[in-house]
Structure 1
Amino acid sequence: MESTLDKSTLKNLIFDLGDVIIPIDLSAPVRNFAMLANLPEEEVRAIWKQHDLFDQYETGLIDDEAFRGHVRRLLNNADWADEVIDTTWNTVLLDLPIERIERIKELRTDYRLFLLSNTSPIHIRRVNQVLANMNQPTLEELFEHVFYSYEVRLAKPSPEIYQHVLTEAGLVAQETAFFDDNAANIRTAAELGIQAVHVQPPMTILDYLKDI
């Protein structure tokens, strides 16, 4: 497998979360909210897009409570409990392969490790719960520093979020590898001089980390 990494200069590894560390199904929340609300999936998808709920929540413009309130209002289900909304929202998250976590733990010996994710607090709480159930460290313990879009109020592929990570962590772009499944995210990182690796199926992050 061809690698774009220059291992002679590599000191830092930045990981995306969804579809890099934990497999995801992006269509699952809309599909499941549609079932709960007894509405056509396309209608719910259109509502989501029109009101830009994902981006607002993932960039911290609205908090958990406001997000849930918007979901109830837009889908006309005022009596949905927080737990129902959170559980449905978290259906995007699939089973977490423990071997990926074990490999990341091994890499801590030789590299500075970071997480950079467009995500929401409900998702992060759930991933950390899954990790705890597997007797694994939380994301905040696994990485030297985590950068969540909702905390930094920026999102990939904006160049500003990469610059924020480099500055905040004191990283040199050329000494840093970034692993992401999204082509636009990879492109922007590469333009800033970061060694950007596009994680694409059928390969997983383990394939790209094999020779590091």
Structure 2
Amino acid sequence: MIKNLIFDLGDVIIPIDLTAPIRNFAMLANLPEEEVQAIWKQHQFINHYETGLIDDVAFRGHVRQLLRNDNWADEVIDTAWNTVLLDLPVERIERLGELKSNYRLFLLSNTSPIHIRRVNQVLMGLNLPTLESLFDRVFYSYEVRLAKPSPEIYQHVLSSEGLVAEETAFFDDNAANIRAASELGIQAVHVQPPKTILDYLDQTLQAGP
């Protein structure tokens, strides 16, 4: 019997385009996209940012240094970084709100503070609850200093909230994240297009809470 629902954010709650920041930073820096992509792969600053090893200031500093432009304002960098986020489907947020009366809801995301602030801005602009209000608790990689698919991050969620793995469903679009959760006994559901989280929720929860 499922009592707890854990959701990924990108491409589960909100659609994303992982290539968009590369395109936008390449345009800003007047560099080929391939060069910017190579810089992203060569340096670990994004991973460090998403696991809390560096903060917003250091992240922006790395971007300026690696793309050789010291004059970019914080807002320019943040805007380009946030182009990964596509339009938010309101019906997904509304569905999560409906589920709160029967299930405990959690968010588990490999993400960065800049992205979370932007998502919350969009939600508030639509008169919707922030992520922190929508879920019983949020687990951001940069706060817990762990990232999926590390088994430790799933164990951290289970233990800190007293969740039983077999009573918990986890929805994610990444196959490696799904495998890691499954190995701990969590009912892991691989969200893949053209289906959306709404389809998978109906399939998983049709037996009721």
**Structure 1 CA distance for aligned equivalents of residues 71 and 160 of structure 2:** 42
Indicate yes or no: 2:157 matched with 1:165: yes
**Structure 2 CA distance for aligned equivalents of residues 81 and 207 of structure 1:** 41
AA matched with 1:122: I
Q: CA deviation at 1:52?
A: 1.4
Considering only aligned residues, what root-mean-square deviation do their CA atoms show, in Å? Answer: 0.6
TM-score (norm 1): 0.95
**Structure 1 CA distance for aligned equivalents of residues 24 and 80 of structure 2:** 6
Q: What is the aligned counterpart of 1:142 among 112, 115, 134?
A: 134
**Structure 1 CA distance for aligned equivalents of residues 72 and 27 of structure 2:** 13
SS at match of 1:168: helix
Count how many residue pairs are aligned between Structure 1 and Structure 2: 204
Q: CA deviation at 1:53?
A: 2.2
**Structure 2 CA distance for aligned equivalents of residues 19 and 133 of structure 1:** 20
| CA deviation string 1:18-64 (max 9, x = no partner) | 00000000011011100100001111111111111221110011100
**Structure 2 CA distance for aligned equivalents of residues 53 and 138 of structure 1:** 27
**Structure 2 CA distance for aligned equivalents of residues 54 and 97 of structure 1:** 26
| CA deviation string 1:56-85 (max 9, x = no partner) | 110011100000000000001100000000
**Structure 2 CA distance for aligned equivalents of residues 54 and 192 of structure 1:** 27
Partner of 1:129: 121
Partner of 2:27: 35
SS at match of 2:138: strand
Partner of 1:114: 106
Partner of 1:103: 95
- Identity of matched residues, %: 81
Contact persistence 2:110–2:142 (CA under 8 A): yes
SS at match of 2:14: coil
**Structure 2 CA distance for aligned equivalents of residues 205 and 69 of structure 1:** 36
SS at match of 2:193: coil
**Structure 1 CA distance for aligned equivalents of residues 201 and 159 of structure 2:** 25
Partner of 2:39: 47
SS at match of 2:124: helix
**Structure 2 CA distance for aligned equivalents of residues 193 and 60 of structure 1:** 28
Q: CA deviation at 1:206?
A: 0.5
Gaps of 5+ in 2: none
**Structure 2 CA distance for aligned equivalents of residues 77 and 163 of structure 1:** 41
**Structure 1 CA distance for aligned equivalents of residues 195 and 20 of structure 2:** 22
SS at match of 2:70: coil
Contact persistence 2:14–2:88 (CA under 8 A): yes
TM-score (norm 2): 0.97
AA matched with 2:92: R
Gaps of 5+ in 1: 1-8
